[in-house]
């Protein structure tokens, strides 16, 4: 394989908001031309991290180089090289799709000639040509998301950051976005950095994934590598009545079982051939005094990698604390 | 069991909870009426004091000295005016025209002689009648001073020897209705600058769309200057329309020289820039339109009422006078009054222009410095 350059180089980056450590000593590299994913539950620090890398907030400590330059020392130079699709929809509702693109392009000082060529092409690419002259207020969520993506490509960024690019989209729109991103990476050889809490998205899209939990990187690798680190191929999940430690221990000692863990009355059993092993497992539970209420068998996914490394499933993080002045409109320094 | 009638309680509770969690709103709803009380209570119908009265005493006789003594007594006692003595009539009248003095008393060379010879003595009082409230107050105080001369020295004479106060109005009469026009224009500028410029940033933050341009190479000064210029454009148009309409409504006659128009436009533009940059400093870090609503009431009361737009600054207590000295709206009102009612030239409103310019530059620099280009 060709020697590739680093597009993003992060070392020991940390962000504190008061006593909360949103991002805790995170280091990683992203190579040019790859789709790098940050996978983690809501509240894990993904957005804070992306905001530091895109110059929107200053790190408390640590360093990050994005494209040519250091994000704290030369933020303006970094901004010229990157395109960012934030999690929130940021198109101006009072302007049309075309006007949004045009004004944004002028923020980068792109000539009117180039704008005339590039904007209709990008709108066509994301399938918004027919609605280009309507106010964005009349767009659906999916259309607005596609406009956001088209908009950040207007200045031909070298590195594209997308924060939860498909959040709230229906499966069909999600697939459109994925195809588009993959095409971008292949044809325009753009480096893409995405954050997501959708396992499937990370698995489908990313060449490498960093799993992040509570502000820390748990593990980094390609989806394939990460999955290969978990014992077995399949996971059998059993909901069991009268679950006891003895029962778990007996299941764990079956010769074909690699690993067992429990979460809220559910037993997750790591095996090689789930469908084949399921009847044997049910029998074992029965003979140990338990009762199987339901059972599922699935192939290992990144979700299981996450559970393997963090001991919990990707869950909704409990709500963040809010400064008492928030409703009064005083800006609060709190990460999302 | 469902109790439908109690659903209203949930609406009430929700509203009360939201109110309780907004300390700034609570504080301001208590403070604002009290601020109105203090500011309005001291900016209307107060006793006018220390109105600048220029005196040119061209008579060296004893009776004019007597008049001067009486005037000094008023200056020391009721303090209606403060005296400035000049040597000739021209300096006095020029001073009034330039807005330095509210009125000018001219004691003619033959004053004492006429008093002694029962020769119908008279003095001339030049009045800046564009400020009816102040000029009326000066006139009454001067008249009081002259009356006591008569009672002391002229009491036994017959009525024909009364000193005649000839008051000369320097300008076309301005009634109270018309005199509010400059204030109304400044009010239009205030509202214009509050809803353009920095307000756009507040709304962008509120809607969370500010990220879209903070992520671009736009610099702080690009953002601040861009919004100030667009706000200037919108507000200037509003102010000019308000000026034209209010002049038609009140029937102000106005010399239509292009220079006068240009000067008025200059003041409108300067005032707009001044208030736009002030708003940028104040609203620079606010992220909720509710705060702008609260601040608009607060800023209006502290800037507008002590500006001299509705009642002369001379009637204010000292602390409010001091505040008026740093209130840009006071300078703007003064300049517009001069241009609209006195046909003033730029030189005579140079102080106003200088203040507005300096204020604008200071605020603009502060705005750019304090504006945060990060979230």
ipTM of this predicted structure: 0.76
- Write down the pLDDT at residue A233: 86
Q: How far is A142 from A145, CA to CA, in rounded Å?
A: 5
Residue A233 contacts residue A299 (beta carbons within 8 Å) = yes
| Average pLDDT of the segment spanning A65-74 | 94
Report pLDDT digits (tens) over A207-216: 999 999 999 9
Of A58, A84, A89, the CB nearest to B215: A84
- Record the pTM: 0.81
| Average pLDDT of the segment spanning A2-30 | 90
Contact A56 B375 (CB under 8 A): yes
Tokens 């949930």, located at residue: B10
Q: Is the pLDDT of residue A319 over 50?
A: no
CB of B259 within 8 Å of a chain A CB? The answer is no
Residues of chain B with C-beta less than 8 angstroms from the C-beta of A84: 211, 215
| Average pLDDT of the segment spanning B122-149 | 85
CB of B24 within 8 Å of a chain A CB? The answer is yes
Q: Is the pLDDT of residue A334 over 70?
A: no
Residues of chain B with C-beta less than 8 angstroms from the C-beta of A104: 212-213, 216
CB of B16 within 8 Å of a chain A CB? The answer is no
Q: Is the pLDDT of residue A330 over 50?
A: no
Task: Kindly list the residues of chain A whose beta carbon comes within 8 Å of any beta carbon in chain B.
Answer: 51, 54-58, 76, 79-80, 82, 84, 86, 88-93, 104, 107-109, 151, 324-325, 327-331
- Write down the pLDDT at residue A206: 93
Q: How far is A302 from B150, CA to CA, in rounded Å?
A: 107
Q: How far is A38 from A44, CA to CA, in rounded Å?
A: 10
For A166-170, A239-243, B220-224, which range has the lowest pLDDT when averaged over its residues? Answer: A166-170
Confidence of residue A325 (pLDDT cuts 50, 70, 90): very low
Residue A210 contacts residue A55 (beta carbons within 8 Å) = no
- Write down the pLDDT at residue B157: 47
Report pLDDT digits (tens) over B306-343: 998 888 888 888 899 899 999 999 999 999 998 888 88
Confidence of residue B2 (pLDDT cuts 50, 70, 90): low
Q: How far is B155 from B152, CA to CA, in rounded Å?
A: 6
Q: How far is A38 from A211, CA to CA, in rounded Å?
A: 6
Contact A328 B24 (CB under 8 A): yes
Average pLDDT, chain A: 86
Quote the longest CA-to-CA distance of chain B.
Answer: 105
Q: How far is B219 from B210, CA to CA, in rounded Å?
A: 13
């Amino acid at each position: 394989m060709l020697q590739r350059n680093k597009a993003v180089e992060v070392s020991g980056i940390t962000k504190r908001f008061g006593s909360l450590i949103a991002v805790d000593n995170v280091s990683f590299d992203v190579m040019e031309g790859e789709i790098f994913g940050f996978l983690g539950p809501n509240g894990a620090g993904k957005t804070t991290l992306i905001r530091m890398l895109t110059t929107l907030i200053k790190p408390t400590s640590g360093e990050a180089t994005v494209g040519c330059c250091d994000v704290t020392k030369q933020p303006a130079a970094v901004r010229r090289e990157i395109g960012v699709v934030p999690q929130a929809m940021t198109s101006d509702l009072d302007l049309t799709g075309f006007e949004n693109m045009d004004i944004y392009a002028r923020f980068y000082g792109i000539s009117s000639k180039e704008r005339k060529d590039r904007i209709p092409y990008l709108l066509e690419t994301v399938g918004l040509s027919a609605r280009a002259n309507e106010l964005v207020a009349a767009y659906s969520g999916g259309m607005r998301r596609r406009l956001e993506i088209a908009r950040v490509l207007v200045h031909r960024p070298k590195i594209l950051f997308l924060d939860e690019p498909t959040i709230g989209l229906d499966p069909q729109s999600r697939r459109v976005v994925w195809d588009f991103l993959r095409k971008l990476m292949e044809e325009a050889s753009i480096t893409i950095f995405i954050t997501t809490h959708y396992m499937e998205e990370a698995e489908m899209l990313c060449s490498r994934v960093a799993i992040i939990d509570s502000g820390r990187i748990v593990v980094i690798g390609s989806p394939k590598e990460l999955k290969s680190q978990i014992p077995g191929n399949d996971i059998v999940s059993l909901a069991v009545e009268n679950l006891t430690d003895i029962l778990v221990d007996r299941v764990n000692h079956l010769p074909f079982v690699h690993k067992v863990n429990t979460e809220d009355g559910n037993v997750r059993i790591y095996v090689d051939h789930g469908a084949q092993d399921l009847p044997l497992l049910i029998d074992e539970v029965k003979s140990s005094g338990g009762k199987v209420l339901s059972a599922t068998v699935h192939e290992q996914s990144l979700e299981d990698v996450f559970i393997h490394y963090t001991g919990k499933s990707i869950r909704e993080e409990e709500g963040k604390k809010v400064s008492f002045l928030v409703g009064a409109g005083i800006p609060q320094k709190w990460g999302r | 069991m469902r109790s439908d009638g109690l659903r209203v309680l949930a609406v009430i509770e929700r509203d009360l909870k939201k109110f309780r969690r907004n300390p700034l709103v609570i504080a301001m709803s208590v403070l604002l009426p009290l601020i109105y009380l203090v500011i309005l209570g001291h900016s209307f119908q107060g006793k006018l004091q220390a109105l600048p009265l220029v005196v040119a005493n061209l008579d060296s006789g004893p009776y004019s000295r007597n008049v001067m003594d009486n005037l000094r007594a008023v200056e020391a006692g009721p303090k209606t005016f403060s005296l400035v003595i000049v040597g000739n009539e021209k300096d006095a009248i020029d001073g009034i025209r330039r807005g330095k003095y509210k009125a000018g008393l001219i004691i003619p060379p033959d004053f004492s002689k006429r008093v002694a010879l029962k020769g119908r003595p008279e003095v001339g009082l030049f009045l800046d009648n564009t400020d009816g409230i102040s000029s009326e107050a000066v006139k009454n105080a001067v008249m009081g001073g002259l009356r006591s001369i008569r009672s002391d020295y002229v009491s036994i004479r017959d009525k024909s020897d009364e000193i005649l106060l000839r008051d000369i109005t320097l300008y076309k009469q301005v009634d109270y209705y018309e005199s509010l026009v400059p204030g109304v224009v400044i009010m239009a500028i205030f509202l214009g600058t509050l809803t353009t410029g920095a307000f756009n940033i507040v709304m962008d933050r509120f809607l969370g769309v500010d990220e879209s341009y903070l992520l671009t190479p736009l610099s702080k000064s690009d953002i601040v200057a861009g919004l100030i210029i667009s706000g200037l454009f919108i507000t200037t148009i509003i102010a000019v329309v308000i000026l034209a309409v209010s002049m038609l409504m009140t029937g102000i006659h106005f010399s239509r020289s292009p220079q006068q128009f240009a000067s008025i436009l200059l003041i409108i533009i300067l005032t707009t820039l001044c208030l736009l940059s002030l708003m940028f400093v104040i609203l620079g870090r606010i992220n909720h339109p509710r705060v702008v609503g609260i601040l608009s009431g607060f800023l209006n009361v502290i800037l507008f009422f002590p500006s001299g737009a509705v009642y002369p600054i001379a009637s204010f207590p000292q602390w409010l006078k001091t505040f008026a000295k740093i209130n840009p709206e006071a300078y703007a009102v003064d300049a517009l009054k001069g241009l609209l009612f006195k046909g003033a030239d730029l030189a005579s409103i140079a102080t106003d222009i200088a203040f507005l310019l300096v204020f604008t530059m200071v605020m603009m620099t502060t705005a750019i410095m304090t504006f945060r280009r990060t979230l």
